[in-house]
Chains A and B, each alone.
Chain A
Amino acid sequence: MTDAVETKAVGPALSITGLRKTFGANEVLRGIDLSARDGDVISMIGASGSGKSTLLRCIPMLEIPDAGTVTVGEDSLSPKGARLTRAEEATARRMRGHLGFVFQNFNLWTHRTVLQNVIEAPLFVQNRSRAEAVDEATALLEKVGLAEKRDAWPAHLSGGQQQRVAIARALAQRPRAILFDEPTSALDPELVGEVLKVIRSLAEEGRTLLIVTHEMGFARDVSSRVVLLHQGQIEEDGTPEQVFANPRSDRARAFLSGHFDRTR
């Protein structure tokens, strides 16, 4: 699995400029600029309601931003209205094709087996051959430690196993970057480790990852960069050492001390 490292087009893997999003009277994102180069592992942290999940969901246009631009590889989108036009939807689909997205609640397709979940996009979006898709899916399931579960139903897996299948499903798209939306928040504590271990291995092989997380210890160990959001704006942005050891703002200090008091 070295293809992620080989994708070396010029320019950032993805970038976001001037992103704004309002839900009713609630201004969730208030002008976000962020860009990720290939190989970056960026953790996004912040209190509940700080806008980090919304930010992540705006990248593949699961939420349509009110203003701002999202660029993934060569494709760029600045939605004009509350709904995507036909042309915008086509661009968004291309962008999604270059991204993997891992949800908090896994969102596996319950009517398909583990293997069928993983080969769905390669077969029906990327039109690859079945033999190739199955071979690659088998390798990916092995990588996440679930080779023997390939014919199981999602309903019969633990949360940690389901999330690892979801990661394999994201990888099967051969994405340029993978987005994680609180990937361990829905898991029982004893299952968190197996998922973090898989994400860590992806970071180590040089993949581009954007991770929204509450796991501060993990963010500190794995990230090349940590972004702290507060009320819809980027409050801190730097290496883990900078952000965790020497936060510039009082708010960041307060948030982090609150967290490290009760985590490992």
Chain B
Amino acid sequence: MDFTFLGGMFANLLKGLPLTLNFWVLSLLGGGTLALILNLMRTTRIGNAVAAAYVFVFRGTPLLIQIFMIYYGLAGFGFVRQSFLWPFLREPYWCGLLALILNDAAYTSEILRGGLRAVPKGAVEAGRVSGMTRFAILRRITLPLAFRQALPAYSNEVISMLKATALVSTITLMDMTGIARAAISETWRAVEILLCAAAIYLAISLLVTRFSAWFERRLSPWQFGRTTP
């Protein structure tokens, strides 16, 4: 093992970390927001059908194909090139982010749906008889309970998205994986470089795992033997 090379490569890969984190955080924020909207849509019959179709398509096709469809495919439509969105949609950055958001929303909306279904009907009724508005019930009772229920499954999705960001390297973006790929084609030292990149992803995953365990205990202390807040 050439530790000087490894150290240098490590520093080199870390230059891609900001872009990786950027994609990761923004796709989770955007996907989470869209997932909430998809679940609110599910309260009407037509909205439910639309949300179900959306999830079916984006969960049922490979993220890589979604990225390619948006990056290479959209440009084939004249009206896309004419539209005010074209300055964004011709940039690989925005195409990659859009694909990640749309994909994350499909998974997150299903995780949230499971959480919402697990909210006891009685807790909602107790809110209604207290005179709370529908919005207050959603904000004070339904979503907090659903979120707690969904947290373990959601932390999976968070880690999953971290690794999914690596796919944007296929559309010219220099995230950590993008830098790794470029370095491999220059040096042909694939194993060392990929090990280095994997180690960084692994370290971030570890942080997520730890954080979500802590967060779960913090949100639901009664499930962990703590008698008071």
Chain A positions near chain B (C-beta within 8 angstroms): 60, 62, 89, 93-94, 96-97, 99-101, 103, 105-111, 113, 120-121, 124-126, 151-156, 169, 173
Counting CB contacts under 8 A, is B207 at the interface? no
Residues of B within 8 Å of A97, CB to CB, are 131
Q: Mark B138-171, 1 if CB is under 8 A from A, else 0.
A: 0011001100100000000000000000000000
Interface-facing stretch out of B11-19, B88-96, B119-127, B209-217: B119-127
Considering the complex, give the chain B residue whose CB is closest to the CB of A151.
B228
Contact B228 A113 (CB under 8 A): yes
Task: Return chain B residues, CB-CB under 8 Å to A93.
Answer: 131-133
Q: Is B128 interfacial (CB-CB < 8 Å)?
A: yes
Given A60-B128, A156-B222, A173-B130: A110 touches B140 (CB 8 Å cut-off): no
Q: Are A103 and B122 in contact (CB under 8 A)?
A: yes
Among A89, A103, A126, A151, contact of B126 (Cβ-Cβ < 8 Å): A103
Of the A-B pairs whose beta carbons lie under 8 Å apart in the complex, a sample of 8, sorted by A's number, is A60-B129, A89-B134, A93-B132, A106-B122, A111-B148, A151-B228, A153-B221, A155-B223
The reply to whether A111 and B122 form a contact with Cβ atoms under 8 Å apart is: no
Q: Counting CB contacts under 8 A, is B206 at the interface?
A: no
Contact of A151 among B140, B148, B229 (CB under 8 A): B229
Identity of the chain A residue whose Cβ is nearest the Cβ of B145 in the assembled complex: A111
Query: Which residues of chain B are near A89, meaning CB under 8 Å?
Result: 134
Asked if A109 and B123 make an inter-chain contact with CB atoms under 8 angstroms apart, the answer reads yes
B140 to nearest A CB, angstroms?
6
Instruction: Check if A107 sits within 8 Å of B123, measured CB to CB.
Output: yes
A96 and B229 contact, Cβ closer than 8 Å, known pairs A103-B122, A107-B123: no
User: What is the distance, in angstroms, from A162's C-beta to the closest C-beta of chain B?
Assistant: 12
Minimum CB distance partner of B136 in chain A: A124
Residue in chain B with minimal CB distance to A166? B126
- A110 vs B127: C-alpha distance when bound (angstroms): 12
What is the interface of chain B, defined by CB distance below 8 A to chain A? 120, 122-123, 125-134, 136, 140-141, 144-145, 148, 219-223, 227-229
Give complex CA distance A193, B136 in Å: 35
Given A113, A121, A156, which contacts B131 in the complex, CB threshold below 8 Å?
Answer: A121
A109-B141, A111-B144 are known contacts. Are A153 and B227 too (CB-CB below 8 A)? yes
What number of residue pairs across chains A and B have CB atoms under 8 A from each other? 76
Query: Are the CB atoms of A62 and B125 closer together than 8 Å?
Result: yes
Q: Which residues of A have CB within 8 Å of B140? A: 120, 124
Give 9 nearest A-B pairs by CB, closest first: A107-B122, A153-B222, A97-B131, A101-B129, A121-B130, A107-B126, A96-B131, A151-B228, A155-B222
Looking at the assembled complex, report how far the CB atom of A202 sits from the nearest CB atom of chain B, in whole angstroms.
17
State whether A109 touches B131 (Cβ < 8 A): no
Of all chain A residues, which has the CB nearest B121? Answer: A107
Instruction: Report the minimal beta-carbon distance from B99 to chain A, rounded to whole angstroms.
Output: 35
Q: How far is the CA of A156 from the CA of B128 in the complex (A)?
A: 24
A173 to B130, CA, bound (A): 7
Taken together as a complex, chains A and B put the C-alpha atoms of A182 and B71 apart, in Å, by 61
The residue on B at minimum CB distance from A96 is: B131
In the complex, are the beta carbons of B220 and A111 less than 8 A apart?
Answer: yes
How far apart are B146's CB and chain A's nearest CB, in angstroms?
A: 10
Q: Give Cα A110–Cα B126 distance, bound, in whole angstroms.
A: 12
Residues from chain B with Cβ under 8 Å of A153 in the complex: 221-222, 227-229
Please give the distance in Å from A249's CB to the nearest CB on chain B.
33
Chain A residues with Cβ below 8 Å from B144 are 111
Which residues of B have CB within 8 Å of A151?
A: 228-229
Q: Which of B126, B128, B131, B223 is in CB contact (< 8 Å) with A108?
A: B126
Chain B's closest residue to A93 (CB) is B131
Nearest CB of chain A from residue B91's CB, rounded to whole Å:
42
Nearest Cβ in chain B — how far from A233, in angstroms? Answer: 26
Complex Cα spacing A252 to B141, Å: 42
Q: How far is the CA of A108 from the CA of B124 in the complex (A)?
A: 10
User: Are A107's CB and B125's CB within 8 A?
Assistant: yes
- By a CB distance below 8 angstroms, the chain A residues around B128 are 60, 62, 96
**Which residues in B have their C-beta under 8 angstroms from that of A94?**
131
Closest to B144 in A: A111
Is A110 a contact of B123 with CB atoms below 8 Å? yes
Known: A107-B120, A120-B140, A151-B228. A125 touches B222 (CB 8 A): no
Docked pose: A133 CA to B64 CA in angstroms: 55
A99 touches B129 (CB 8 A): yes
Residue of A nearest to B133 (CB): A93
Other A-B pairs, 18, CB within 8 Å; known A93-B133, A151-B229: A60-B129, A62-B125, A93-B131, A101-B129, A105-B122, A106-B122, A107-B122, A107-B125, A111-B148, A111-B219, A113-B228, A113-B229, A124-B132, A124-B136, A125-B131, A153-B227, A156-B227, A173-B130
